[in-house]
């Protein structure tokens, strides 16, 4: 581990940045997602980038403001599955914001793979906190697969209005996170042999710096975790919990959401 790993996460990111070896759009759909009825499209600015996000209101609004969930999609595009996942949270009484990230869906900016996208997630969370129907003191973040790593990294940023974070199938618990198999063949836009670049993108390097709890859910049949490496990760004295749920990488999402809801309903 390099000396830079001892510099606080947010400080290092903004001081040193990232050096991309390729500048490209995200390797996913570049057209806007198909938005279900009742979902509001909102503008979300991240620095100089004008992005879009999608707000799914709480199905049963509270008499006062509803708690909120920032939901980070898997892969590099929002799909029908993501709106279905958001609906589970909304039916439980949460307002849910699904952000799009730089380079996705025709958005400006380049695909950075867990770097600038974390800034975009922070901006989206603040946008959610500003909504009058949302209780900014009861916000959580959850993500699936690639989105799970983004949600995990949010656990490190102390000044966010965020109670907890959760993930399903995150990268930081995988044996070889940036292998072709783990990435489904998607390109890596930075030098994967540069330790500084890796440290900026995986929660595993910063477990002792977590500012809030993170609940990582892993499917019992998830091929990404078949090596069992995650069982060696110590959670003692750390704000990390690892929970097994039923399912493969694709089918573990809904059980993971239900497990996360069970956890945060007690906070």
pLDDT by residue (tens digit) across 227-250? 898 999 999 999 999 999 999 999
The stretches of 160-242 forming alpha helices (DSSP H) are 195-199
Q: How confident is the model at residue 1 (pLDDT cuts 50, 70, 90)?
A: very low
**Is 7 a residue whose pLDDT tops 80?**
no
pLDDT of residue 53: 98
Q: How confident is the model at residue 64 (pLDDT cuts 50, 70, 90)?
A: confident
Give CA separation, 124 vs 46, 115, 121, 146, in Å.
8, 15, 5, 17
What is the pTM for the complete model shown? 0.94
Give bridge partners of residue 215 from the DSSP assignment.
166, 241
Q: What is the pLDDT of residues 111-129, one digit of tens each?
A: 999 999 999 999 999 999 9
Instruction: Give the Cα separation of 115 and 13 in Å (integer).
Output: 8
Q: What superfamily would CATH give domain 3-162+172-208?
A: Alpha/Beta hydrolase fold, catalytic domain (3.40.50.1820)
| Domain regions of the chain by residue span | 3-162+172-208
Give the residue carrying structure tokens 């500003």: 130
pLDDT of residue 9: 76
- For residue 245, what are its two tokens? 């749920």
Q: What is the pLDDT of residues 169-185, one digit of tens each?
A: 999 999 899 998 889 88
pLDDT of residue 266: 52
Question: 223-239 in b/e burial notation, b at 16+ Cβ within 10 A?
Answer: ebbeeeebeeeeeeeeb
Using a 10 angstrom Cβ sphere, with 0-12 exposed, 13-18 middle and 19 or more buried, the burial of residue 65 is: middle
């Amino acid at each position: 581990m390099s000396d830079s790993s001892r510099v606080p996460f947010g400080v290092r990111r903004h001081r040193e940045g990232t050096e991309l070896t390729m500048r490209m759009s995200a390797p996913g759909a570049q057209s806007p997602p198909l938005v279900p009825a009742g979902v509001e499209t909102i503008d979300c600015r991240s620095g100089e980038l004008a992005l879009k996000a999608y707000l799914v209101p709480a199905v049963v609004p509270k008499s006062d403001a509803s708690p909120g969930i920032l939901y980070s999609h898997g892969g590099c595009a929002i799909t029908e599955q993501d709106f279905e996942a958001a609906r589970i949270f909304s039916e439980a009484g949460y307002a849910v914001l699904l952000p799009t990230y730089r380079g996705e869906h025709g958005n400006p900016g380049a695909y950075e793979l867990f770097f600038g996208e974390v800034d975009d997630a922070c901006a989206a969370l603040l946008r959610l906190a500003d909504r009058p129907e949302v209780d900014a003191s009861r916000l959580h973040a959850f993500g699936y697969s690639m989105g799970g790593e983004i949600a995990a990294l949010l656990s490190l940023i102390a000044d966010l209005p965020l109670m907890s974070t959760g993930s399903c199938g995150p990268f930081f618990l995988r044996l070889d996170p940036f292998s072709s198999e783990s990435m489904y063949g998607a390109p890596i836009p930075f030098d994967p042999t540069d330790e500084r670049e890796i440290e900026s993108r995986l929660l595993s390097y910063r477990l002792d710096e977590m500012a809030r709890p993170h609940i990582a859910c892993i499917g019992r049949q998830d091929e990404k975790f078949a090596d069992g490496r995650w069982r060696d990760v110590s959670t003692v004295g750390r704000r990390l919990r690892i929970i097994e749920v039923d399912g493969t990488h694709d089918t573990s999402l809904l059980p993971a959401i239900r497990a996360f809801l069970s956890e945060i309903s007690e906070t």
